[in-house]
Chains A and B, each alone.
Chain A
Amino acid sequence: MSTVEPTWRLGIDTGGTFTDIVAVCDGQLRTSKVSSTPAAFERGVLDAIASVGVGVDSDIRLLAHGTTVTTNAVITHTGAATGLITTRGFRDILELRRADRGELYDILWDPPEPLVPRRLRREVSERIDYAGAVIAPLCDDDIADAVRVFRASGVEAVAICFLNSYVNPVHEERARDAVLALWPEAHVTISSDLIREPREFERTATAVANAYVAPVLRDYVSRLQATLDDDRFSGRLMIMHSGGGLVPAASCLVAPARTITSGPAAGVMAAEGLAGQTHNPNILSLDMGGTSADVAVVLGGKARFVDEHVPEWGLPIRFPAVDLLTVGAGGGSIAWVDASGAAKVGPDSAGAVPGPACYRRGGTYATVTDANLVLGRLAEQAVLADGLRLDLERASSAVSAFGDRLGLDMHAAALGIIEIANSNMAKAVRVMTVERGLDPRDFVLLAFGGAGPMHACELANHLGMERVMIPLAPGVTSALGTMFVDVVHDVARANIELLQHVDPTEIEETFQDLEARARSLLDDDLIPQPGQRIERSLDLRYVGQTKTLNCQLPSQPVTDATLASAATRFVDEYQARYQYVATGLPIEVATARVRARGLESGIRLPEVPELPETAPACIRPVVFRDAGAVDAAVYRREDLSVGATLLGPLVIEQMDSTTIIPPAWSVEVDKLGNLVVLRTREEAR
């Protein structure tokens, strides 16, 4: 993120219902939300661009796009017909999975169907041992048989995963060549191209997901590119992935599985971008929408990563992914009372249809949104993005009915719903912070999504946090997130040996191999050398463990000192997370990783203009737990001027979101238009 150019950079995030856009150019920032067009999502993208008044043929440098097409393909099982080729004797690895269950005790629970049915999982003779030695040669006739069955069955994409290919990929590579020789138009994914780490199920699942979505992504991206080209688009189209980076449209088939669930990752990257631009290096991000809330951490200005993400139970995608946790707490989460009188909120959601009781679409259960309406936090007159008006009467009777079962009056019941929903989110926050050795009180809570700003301060109270930030346009934050990211490729290779036995020269060679591959990917992306950045890291563990911690290395040749400092970092991180150190156990290297960035000149968020001081639009009673019903001033977000400080209780309304500032909190608008909300005195929990 070096220079800022006087051309447009667009970020567009397509979801199932809305397509969000953020457009930035030379001190201007425009945002909008249009309806998505599921029949042909590219039309919604064009609609979004038009809605911010930017011509497709104008000076657009970059269009960064988060898309839901691969997510949908996986969730609805409507991806390409896919065939799988495995080592003989092992075709069921995809379906056996890890032989565990999503619900430990529920007899009626079923796993999702595997993406490739058994008859399209074909075995071939070949075997490589744990050390990479060929034990049995690859049988070409078996490959030909598999291809015959696939072609007869209408298969479009082929995944190949052999045992121990992470050590020696030669058979997978030969098998791929053999398939393509017989069938040049097939899309073929081999697992070793994506991952060079042990665990055959995870590698198979990733390869299968990759093959399964590849034709879907290829077709969508080429349609979108063609549509843009028709309108004389001259910039670059890039696709967002779950690893918190972009990949140019032309390279989107390098690892299509990475584009599954890129939207939530983009939200976290917005938090990373805002961490930099607002000089708040430690941010806890909360993206709360209609059905769920995503929680993530930005530490020292950087988002954190884990080694896989799981878009559906039993389908791990084994690539570095932004570390986030989703819980079933959203505006639509249903409040209910169990058979012995305990109050619960979620995880079932009323969704958009029938929706909360106040939507008048047939929903009768009290939801979090109904509770917010009853407490005066949402305005009865509020009009939602799709023109919907809320019905206070229906919300009141739903919340009262819930309260009657508990012996609570309506307001106490509504406050209880909010408190339980917040405690569900607090549980996720504890996983992301306390369980990782972090103290939430050291963080700013960045709340966005439709419902986040309404819950932020009370959630912060619950967690002992004192600072909250609400971005300028909370409803389009995922689109904003695509503004701050670079082109990112991740390559890795298992390198299992005791740290004390690692020869710096040898591991240096491994890193250089990985870097050469990463740079060639960036070269393919037309990223010039000076814009290429290489980050190295090692996954370390105590010998015997299977879980690792990732430790960054400097991008210089590896020396004994580099390895020693990695060991120190490992022990420190281990101590912080697990509260003990396994003194005397040797440390083992598991994987060498390289993250290659093609730097994109980022954006600087423009400063918002100063405005004359304004009076509140109105005053309305809002109910809080300790204060009861109090009069709160209601402001329009766009009327608030930079620098003005206001004291809660307050309501701040804008198109796609409402912010609640409880008593004992104050709010100030910073230069970039973010609401900076501070606790002014100690609250009990």
Chain B
Amino acid sequence: MTVSPAVGIDPITFEVLNNAFSSVVDEMGALVQNCALSVVVSEARDYSGSICTPAGDLVATGVTDQPAHIGTIPFTVKGMLEWIGQPAADYFSDGDIVITNDAYIGGTHNQDVRLIMPVFHDGEIIAFAQSSAHWTDIGGHVPGTFDPNARSSHGEGLIVPPIRVARAGEIDDDLVRVICRNIRTPDLARGDLLAQIGAVRLARMRILDLVSSYGQAVIVEEMAALIRHSEALLRQEFEALPDGVRQFTVPIDCDPGSASDEPVLLHMRLAIAGHHAEYDFSGCARQAIGAINATRSSTFSSAIVATKAVFPHVPLNQGFFNAIDFVLPDGLVCSAQYPAPISGMAAGTFPGIIDCVLGNYIQVLPLRCMAGPVGLVNTTWGGYDPRPGHEDEFVAYIWLEGGWGGRPAKKDNFTAMCLFSTAARNVPIEQQERVFPLMFDSYRFERDSFGAGLHRGGPGVTRVLHFTHGDAMLSVIGDGERFGPWGWAGGSDAPGAKLIYAPGTEDERSLGMFCTGEMIERSKEVLFFHSGGGGWGDPLERPIEWVLKDVENDLLSPDAARHQYGVVVDSVGGDGRAVAAEGDTRRLRAEMREQRNESSNAAAD
């Protein structure tokens, strides 16, 4: 058979083995999801599994894998190879497994624990299998380890550099004890660790099965071919784009470690030239004092994830990295230097970099893009659960869904997601109430919670909860309170996130997006609102029926229909149907357009 130049292996075998590799990584994901103990992993799916080449290049990832991990994985493996400081084949024995969570060795934050296993065949390492999972707690000052007051990565829990947790097949129980002793929920940690070890061992076994069917040379060549294939696909997409330079800036609310409340700016310049794309982050702010920073590997990861969302058909592997030229000087908020604190990377910098990428592509490829999506607010709640049968420390990691941005290619956005392009899910309320001493008072879409536009953003979401047995300690690292998801092409920004203690009582106060060890009294409600998406296009162009449907569904108030869309709602009938006052609407929309022209003329003068 012939050879396709991009693929470099016969095209039929290429695809047959592509299927085989994706079976392996999907099976790793299924194992971790089925076998892990913490609900963050089992219900909410904050994990990933992957295969890398002996050099640490990413080959394959699974369909439910946490995108935030994916882009960092090659950096973890490469970082490990550098850390051990000698040829991997000399250092490792067959059956060894490495554990690490070191954000500064190619990681994300210290809660993400990675297990890496070399796959030996005939005395040679032919691949690395890796399983990552977010552990609910990794120790440190506050339950859940998210601490905006940390001024160093050493305040963010246990740091484990790449060391062997299993040698030649034997798990090092002493090491596991040391790790678990540093964690508030040692049983969950141990169970999650066993599941992850199970996953990398399984991957090793499956890869060796493939080697025995196809031969080592074919398998090694296939890994290289998969990478070449993705790179070629992505470069073709770049080639099809007009050459030129764009830029985009988004703010993080503030640096929680600084006395100033100045926003921290993220900036990206996208330069397309032929089949080259340069992502230049030199314009980002200096690294922050508080924990909103991200390591270089996190920033690569978010840039890759956002790019993948624009070009979803390109398989995510090392070819993606190879096709993009990154400019990322050290010492920025998105390339923080050790020992800067980084636990809040997933709420501040990570979503901000995603916004930067989308904000550039929306200028070039609008039909494949959307206005600003919701980011992430991490909340962790811990304490002692006195309920019979529990009687132990607990840590609950609760995040919240929000809306995605309006898209010119689609009517509206309906997505309610935890975080952009995450595979994560919510944890069922009934599971949380069973496992933790708390009760939810609501979990619902919020009215008037999205950016207006011809194509509106997806609605934001509110949760209200209280603790039923004893007090709890809350720590939060979030963002997007001051600056909600951005609108585009005339669409408006969405309202910002909110976290409010004891709403509607005399104790009511805003907790903000950064708090450490806040005591939450038993039975006091906490309201947690997360934004909808930004709007796309002129709201006055939005068809009246679309506006009315949102009013009928109580996603939009008649007041907002009037002020944002110029639609005057006449009545909402007994069957819940809304009717517009046609004449009034026509007049109001004309007035609003006129006002807009006047103010833009005034601005021009």
Task: Given A420-B15, A544-B38, A547-B42, verify A119-B552 contact (CB < 8 Å).
Answer: yes
Are the CB atoms of A435 and B574 closer together than 8 Å?
A: no
Q: Say yes or no for A342: interface residue by CB 8 A criterion.
A: yes
Task: Given A342-B229, A343-B12, A408-B2, verify A200-B22 contact (CB < 8 Å).
Answer: no
Q: Say yes or no for B105: interface residue by CB 8 A criterion.
A: no
**Chain B residues positioned under 8 Å from A345 (CB to CB):** 15
Are the CB atoms of B233 and A340 closer together than 8 Å?
A: yes
Are the CB atoms of B429 and A342 closer together than 8 Å?
A: no
A-B CB proximity, top 9 nearest: A89-B442, A544-B37, A341-B4, A340-B232, A407-B2, A118-B553, A340-B6, A416-B12, A547-B34
Task: Given A152-B574, A163-B429, A542-B191, verify A580-B198 contact (CB < 8 Å).
Answer: yes
Task: Given A96-B401, A342-B15, verify A152-B198 contact (CB < 8 Å).
Answer: no
Q: Say yes or no for B368: interface residue by CB 8 A criterion.
A: yes
Interface residues of B in 197-240 (CB under 8 A from A): 197-198, 201-202, 205-206, 213-214, 229, 232-233, 236
Binding stretch for chain A, among B52-60, B86-94, B152-160, B415-423: B415-423
CA distance A249 to B560 in the complex (A): 51
Are the CB atoms of A92 and B401 closer together than 8 Å?
A: no
Closest to B201 in A: A579
Are the CB atoms of B42 and A545 closer together than 8 Å?
A: yes
Given contacts A164-B433, A412-B1, 7 further A-B contacts (CB under 8 A): A89-B464, A99-B417, A198-B428, A198-B430, A420-B15, A423-B15, A545-B36
Q: Say yes or no for B445: interface residue by CB 8 A criterion.
A: yes
Q: Say yes or no for A582: interface residue by CB 8 A criterion.
A: yes
Q: Say yes or no for B283: interface residue by CB 8 A criterion.
A: no
**Chain B residues positioned under 8 Å from A148 (CB to CB):** 574
Are the CB atoms of A100 and B63 closer together than 8 Å?
A: no
**Chain A residues positioned under 8 Å from B23 (CB to CB):** 427, 430-431
**Chain A residues positioned under 8 Å from B464 (CB to CB):** 89
Rounded to whole Å, the gap between the CB of B179 and the closest CB of chain A is 16
Rounded to whole Å, the gap between the CB of A368 and the closest CB of chain B is 14
Q: Say yes or no for A105: interface residue by CB 8 A criterion.
A: yes
Q: Say yes or no for A103: interface residue by CB 8 A criterion.
A: yes
Can you show 23 pairs from A to B with CB atoms below 8 A apart?
A90-B443, A92-B443, A95-B445, A96-B426, A99-B416, A104-B67, A107-B312, A113-B414, A119-B553, A130-B430, A200-B428, A339-B233, A339-B236, A340-B236, A345-B15, A406-B11, A416-B11, A420-B15, A420-B19, A427-B22, A542-B37, A545-B37, A578-B198
Are the CB atoms of A407 and B434 closer together than 8 Å?
A: no
Task: Given A130-B434, A579-B198, verify A110-B4 contact (CB < 8 Å).
Answer: no
Interface residues of A in 340-391 (CB under 8 A from B): 340-345
Q: Say yes or no for A441: interface residue by CB 8 A criterion.
A: no
Are the CB atoms of B191 and A93 closer together than 8 Å?
A: no
Q: Say yes or no for B585: interface residue by CB 8 A criterion.
A: no
Rounded to whole Å, the gap between the CB of A353 and the closest CB of chain B is 26
* Cβ-neighbour of B442 out of A90, A130, A496 (below 8 A): A90
CA distance A598 to B217 in the complex (A): 57
**Chain A residues positioned under 8 Å from B201 (CB to CB):** 579-580
**Chain A residues positioned under 8 Å from B12 (CB to CB):** 343, 415-416, 419-420
Q: Say yes or no for B473: interface residue by CB 8 A criterion.
A: no
Rounded to whole Å, the gap between the CB of B124 and the closest CB of chain A is 23
Interface residues of B in 170-217 (CB under 8 A from A): 187-188, 191, 194-195, 197-198, 201-202, 205-206, 213-214
**Chain A residues positioned under 8 Å from B43 (CB to CB):** 546
Rounded to whole Å, the gap between the CB of B357 and the closest CB of chain A is 12
**Chain B residues positioned under 8 Å from A344 (CB to CB):** 15
Are the CB atoms of A104 and B421 closer together than 8 Å?
A: yes
Are the CB atoms of B233 and A101 closer together than 8 Å?
A: no
Closest to A151 in B: B575
Interface residues of B in 401-437 (CB under 8 A from A): 401, 404, 407, 409-410, 414-418, 421, 423-426, 428-431, 433-434
Are the CB atoms of B16 and A419 closer together than 8 Å?
A: yes
CA distance A88 to B425 in the complex (A): 23
Closest to A343 in B: B11
Q: Say yes or no for A681: interface residue by CB 8 A criterion.
A: no
Rounded to whole Å, the gap between the CB of B339 and the closest CB of chain A is 33
Are the CB atoms of A107 and B417 closer together than 8 Å?
A: no
**Chain B residues positioned under 8 Å from A101 (CB to CB):** 415, 417
CA distance A95 to B445 in the complex (A): 9
Q: Say yes or no for A5: interface residue by CB 8 A criterion.
A: no
**Chain B residues positioned under 8 Å from A90 (CB to CB):** 429, 440, 442-444
Interface residues of B in 461-476 (CB under 8 A from A): 461, 464, 468
Q: Say yes or no for A526: interface residue by CB 8 A criterion.
A: no
Interface residues of B in 350-375 (CB under 8 A from A): 368-370
Binding site for A on B (CB under 8 A): 1-7, 11-12, 14-16, 18-20, 22-23, 26-27, 30-31, 33-39, 42-43, 45, 63-64, 67, 187-188, 191, 194-195, 197-198, 201-202, 205-206, 213-214, 229, 232-233, 236, 305, 308-310, 312-313, 316, 368-370, 401, 404, 407, 409-410, 414-418, 421, 423-426, 428-431, 433-434, 439-445, 461, 464, 468, 552-555, 573-576
Are the CB atoms of A338 and B313 closer together than 8 Å?
A: yes
Are the CB atoms of A198 and B434 closer together than 8 Å?
A: yes
**Chain B residues positioned under 8 Å from A89 (CB to CB):** 440-444, 464
Q: Say yes or no for A149: interface residue by CB 8 A criterion.
A: yes
Task: Given A107-B309, A685-B214, verify A117-B553 contact (CB < 8 Å).
Answer: yes
Are the CB atoms of B439 and A129 closer together than 8 Å?
A: yes
Rounded to whole Å, the gap between the CB of B180 and the closest CB of chain A is 12
Task: From A90, A163, A342, A407, name the one whose CB has the most chain B CB atoms within 10 angstroms.
Answer: A342
Interface size on A, residues (CB 8 A): 80
* Cβ-neighbour of B6 out of A113, A200, A342 (below 8 A): A342
**Chain A residues positioned under 8 Å from B418 (CB to CB):** 99
Q: Say yes or no for A426: interface residue by CB 8 A criterion.
A: yes
Task: Given A119-B553, A412-B1, verify A420-B16 contact (CB < 8 Å).
Answer: yes
Closest to B43 in A: A546
CA distance A120 to B434 in the complex (A): 29
**Chain B residues positioned under 8 Å from A127 (CB to CB):** 439
Are the CB atoms of A108 and B188 closer together than 8 Å?
A: no
Q: Say yes or no for A71: interface residue by CB 8 A criterion.
A: no
Q: Say yes or no for A232: interface residue by CB 8 A criterion.
A: no
Interface residues of A in 540-580 (CB under 8 A from B): 542-547, 578-580
CA distance A152 to B552 in the complex (A): 14
Are the CB atoms of B574 and A149 closer together than 8 Å?
A: yes
CA distance A98 to B443 in the complex (A): 12
Q: Say yes or no for A424: interface residue by CB 8 A criterion.
A: yes
CA distance A546 to B206 in the complex (A): 25
Are the CB atoms of B414 and A338 closer together than 8 Å?
A: no
Q: Say yes or no for A201: interface residue by CB 8 A criterion.
A: yes
Rounded to whole Å, the gap between the CB of B65 and the closest CB of chain A is 8
Are the CB atoms of A108 and B409 closer together than 8 Å?
A: yes
* Cβ-neighbour of B34 out of A97, A110, A120, A578 (below 8 A): A578
Task: From B11, B42, B415, name the one whose CB has the most chain A CB atoms within 10 angstroms.
Answer: B11
Rounded to whole Å, the gap between the CB of A198 and the closest CB of chain B is 4
Are the CB atoms of B431 and A546 closer together than 8 Å?
A: yes
Closest to B459 in A: A92
Q: Say yes or no for A153: interface residue by CB 8 A criterion.
A: yes
Task: From A101, A407, A430, A544, name the one whose CB has the most chain B CB atoms within 10 angstroms.
Answer: A544
CA distance A406 to B1 in the complex (A): 9
Are the CB atoms of B19 and A105 closer together than 8 Å?
A: no
**Chain A residues positioned under 8 Å from B11 (CB to CB):** 337, 341-343, 406, 408, 416
Interface residues of A in 162-216 (CB under 8 A from B): 163-164, 166, 198-202
Q: Say yes or no for A111: interface residue by CB 8 A criterion.
A: yes
Are the CB atoms of A95 and B416 closer together than 8 Å?
A: yes
* Cβ-neighbour of A99 out of B37, B410, B425 (below 8 A): B425
Closest to A429 in B: B23
Task: From A164, A338, A585, name the one whose CB has the most chain B CB atoms within 10 angstroms.
Answer: A338
Are the CB atoms of B233 and A199 closer together than 8 Å?
A: no
Q: Say yes or no for A593: interface residue by CB 8 A criterion.
A: no
